[in-house]
Structure formats: C-alpha cells, structure tokens
Amino acid sequence: MKKGNKNLGREFTKGIIKENPVLCLLLGTCPTLAVTTAAVNAIGMGVAATIVLVLSNVVISLLRKVIPDTVRIPAYITVIAGFVSIVQMLVKAYAPSIDESLGIYLPLIVVNCIILGRAEMYASKNSVLPSALDGLGMGVGFTAAMLLMGMIRELLGAGTLFGVTVLPESIFTPITIMILPAGGFFVFGLLVALAQKLRRITPKEKEQSGCGGCPLAGKCSAVKGKEDCGNA
Amino acid sequence: MLRSFIYVFLAAILTENYILTKFLGICPFLGVSKKLNTAVGMSAAVTFVMLLATAVTYPIYMKLLVPKGLEYLQTIVFILVIAALVQLVEIVLKKYIPALYKALGIYLPLITTNCAVLGVTMLVIEKSGTDYGYAHALVNALGTGVGYLVAMVLFAGVRERLEDADVPDFLKGLPITLIAAAILAVSFNAFAGIVDGLVGTV
C-alpha cells in the first residue's frame, strides 16, 4: 500500500520538474510563447489547460479498452475538443476578461501537443487514478513554466507583476520588447538553456528531440530516423 | 476590391505573420526548419491544407452553424473537419498524384495538430463581416501559408549558418535556435504599418 502511494506521488511530481512538458519535453510551445505577456494570462491558460488535461486523461483512460487502435487519434481529439468547448464556455461565462486576453489561444488548447501527447503516451496505457494524477502533474508543470515566463516578461517588459507596479518608471524604464513576440522567443530560449544546464547534473537523462515528444512523431517520416527534427 | 485582396494578402505575410507575430505553428517551425528542402515541403503542405480547410470550414460555419445557433460547436467541428480533410488529402494524393504525395505526404500527419491551420480557420471567422467575405478568407489563408513559407525559409537559412557557428556550450541546440528566432521576430516587428504604406488603408 505504501509503495502504491509512493508511485502515485511520482506520477504527479514527474510532470512538474523531471519531465516538465514545456522546458524539458518542449511541448505546447505555441501557448507558452503567446500568452505569457502577463502573469495573469499565464495562470488563466495554465488552469484551463490543466482542467482539460485531467478530464481528457480520465475519460481516455476509462475508454482505453473500447477505442479501436486504428481510430484512436481522431477519438482522442474528439474527447479533447469536447472538454475544450466546455472550458471555453465556462471561461466566457465566469471570467470574460481572461477570455478576452487569451482570445484564439483558448480554443487552440485542442491542438496543444501536451494533451494529445499525454493521452497517447500515458492515459491510453494506464488506469484512471494514475492517469488523472499524471494529467494534474503535467498541468501544474505547464502552468508553472508559463507563470515563470509570464512573470519575467511582465516584470521586464512593463515593470509590473500581476498588474501591480513593482518597478516604477522613475527607477526602471520598461524593456517593451520583452512583451513583444521577440521577447517571448528570447526568454524561452534562456529558460530552456537553464533547464538543460540543470538537467545535465542528472547523468541518466537522455537527449530529447523537439518532435520526439510529439504524439504523431511515429507516423512522421520527417522525424523518423533523420535528424531533421529538434535540438541536435 | 482588388486592392483589399492585396491588402489582406500582404498583411497575412508581413504584419500578421503566424509564426513570428502570432506564435502559431511553432513546433514544425523549430522541428523541420533545419534543412531548406524540408522547410519548403512542410510549408507547402501547410499552405495547401490551410486553403482547403478554410474553403470547407467557412461555409460550414456560416451556412450551417450560424443559422442553427450552434456557434459553440465551432472548435469541435473545425478540428474534426481538419482531421478528416488531412486524412482524405493523404489518401487521394497517394492514389492519384504519387509524385506530390512523395513530396508532401510525410508532413501531412503532423498537420492535424498544427495550431496554425486551426488558427487560420478560426481567426477568419472572427474577422468576417460585410466587407470581408469568402473570397477574402481564401486570400487570407493563402497569404498566411505564404507567410509561413517565408518565415520557415528565412529561418532555415539562419539555422544552416548556426551549424557552423561557435556557440557557448550552455546555449547549444534549442536555446540558440530560439534566440535566433527572437532576432528574426525583431526584424518582422519593423514591418508594422508597411502594408498601409504600400497599398493604402482599406
């Protein structure tokens, strides 16, 4: 029993640090770059994605013996799209300001590779409780990485944190480029460099390629066998 | 009328570039931009699917979902249409145009989950209005695809140079790629307002 608990704990924590979906597996880069202009947006996006991730992992895990192997990807996409629509409606109704600032990226959670990736790699092979915890852990890791980026970009780009002025303009001139697209790529590059540096300490960690975590990588011959993909 | 088409087309390539200003389709941008030929192949496949997807989803939304009051089904309908379309294109190309299948086929499975395709079909619905109809939507999809191609080709060139550059150890691999992308994005920032200057405000 004790051992079981320990394993469940690991299912949860692995997504936060060791297999952080954004900084280590490099999945879901689009929303990470797009919505992190402010810390609040990062949390809104992270929470919305986490809800979808947990619910779709649970449902796909429950259906894993029912869904035929050949049509599993369309089936997963349908389940995920259903939950995304629900979350979208809830956000529109109860947090319209978040809906406004996330815009198109809220419905685009449907094509977020983290969610399809966890469905394919984890939920389709494991039972309900570990799948839910795996989804929750990955969601928290995703949110944490986005929050970190959002805070850095908001602080440097606007001198505020969660909308509260931290660095008044009298002592710090905001570096506007940080909240522009270029700043997104730049901060993300540095954070990935930091994550790589920290991970080199653990020796058994193997190199992850950019598309290696992509759920469809197996079908994509651009990835297979060649080095065209990801970080060399 | 023609001027508004040119406006939409150029804006989609330069000022609204999906990769460098909207962050859509970043995975393939980082994944297959290492060599010029794969970058071109992927962009061509993306452009093709974007055009086809917009051609199908726009009428579905306007003629089917809006009259029935089912706008909330947009996400789920659009992604299923795109997934089915990609599958169909793959089958048709394989059977009838094997040469094209050989060139584009390998990229097709990845396109279903490319957020740029879903993004272009959804953003065009938001933009649609009395002076922005079906034809504009198609021109926009084409322009977005060409913009995708431009960004991919430019970046493939940058990355081929990066291969020979002496990069500090901790930046090797993906970090330096992202920082190079940041510099490319800065240059696209400079395009702000260029379309108004070239074509005049519409």
Pair of tokens at residue A111: 């094509």
Residues of B in contact with A210 (CB under 8 A): 27, 30-31, 174
Q: What percent of chain A has pLDDT over 90?
A: 20
Residue A232 has pLDDT above 80, yes or no: no
Chain A residues with CB under 8 Å of B20 CB are: 181
Structure token digits, residue B52:
């086809």
- What is the DSSP secondary structure assignment for residue A206, as one 8-state letter? P
Min CA distance, A105 vs chain B (Å)? 8
Backbone angles phi, psi at B132, to 5 degrees: -140, 95
Would residue B202 count as lying in a domain?
no
Q: What is the pLDDT of residue A208?
A: 43
- In angstroms, the CA B25 to CA A133 distance is 29
CB A27 within 8 A of CB A214: yes
Residues of B in Cβ contact (< 8 Å) with A107? 74-75, 118, 122
Report DSSP state, residue A69: G
For chain A, the domains span: 2-219
CA distance B12 to chain A (A): 16
**Structural domains in chain B (count):** 1
Provide the pLDDT for residue B57.
92
Mean of per-residue pLDDT scores for chain B: 85
Partners of residue A193 in chain B, C-beta under 8 Å: 170-171, 175
Is A222's CB within 8 Å of B110's CB?
yes
Which segment of A15-29, B27-41, B147-161 scores lowest on mean pLDDT?
A15-29
Per-residue model confidence (pLDDT) at position A205: 40
Task: With CB atoms and an 8 Å threshold, state whether B182 touches A185.
Answer: yes
The answer to the question of residue B170 being in a domain is yes
- The pLDDT of residue A4 is 55
Contact pairs from chain A to chain B, CB under 8 Å: 169
- Judge: B26–A33 Cβ closer than 8 Å, yes or no: yes
Residues of B in contact with A190 (CB under 8 A): 175, 179
A1: which DSSP letter? -
Binned at pLDDT 50, 70 and 90, residue A216 comes out as low
Looking at residues B191-198, what average pLDDT do you find? 78
With a cut of 60, say whether residue A81 has pLDDT above it.
Answer: yes
Which one of A99, A109, A220 makes the best mutation probe of the B interface by having the most chain B beta carbons within 10 Å?
A220
CB–CB of A54/A132 below 8 Å? yes
> What are the angstrom distances between the C-alpha of B125 and each of A85, A206, B147?
17, 43, 19
B132 located within any domain: yes
pTM, entire model: 0.82
Burial class (CB in 10 A: 0-12, 13-18, 19+), B168: exposed
Distance CA A222, CA A211 (A): 10
- Structural domain includes residue B165: yes
Closest residue in chain B to residue A219, using alpha carbons only = B109
Of B202, B144, B201, B142, nearest in space to B1 by CA: B202
Query: Domain containing B142: what range?
Result: 2-197
Q: What is the mean pLDDT of residues B103-129?
A: 81
Judge whether B166 lies within some domain.
yes
Alpha helices in chain B (DSSP H): 2-13, 26-31, 36-59, 74-96, 98-104, 108-111, 115-127, 134-164, 174-189, 194-199
* Side-chain-facing half-sphere of A62: CA atoms under 13 Å: 7
Measured between alpha carbons, how far is residue A109 from residues A29, A35, A112, A204, B102 in Å? Answer: 11, 12, 5, 32, 31
- Contacts of residues B6-11 at CB distance under 8 Å and 24 or more positions apart, as own/partner, are B6/B199, B7/B195, B7/B199, B7/B202, B8/B132, B8/B136, B8/B139, B8/B140, B8/B143, B9/B139, B9/B140, B9/B142, B9/B143, B9/B146, B10/B143, B10/B195, B10/B198, B10/B199, B11/B143, B11/B195
How far away is chain B from the Cα of A210, in angstroms, using its nearest Cα? 6
Q: Is residue B131 one of the residues assigned to a domain?
A: yes
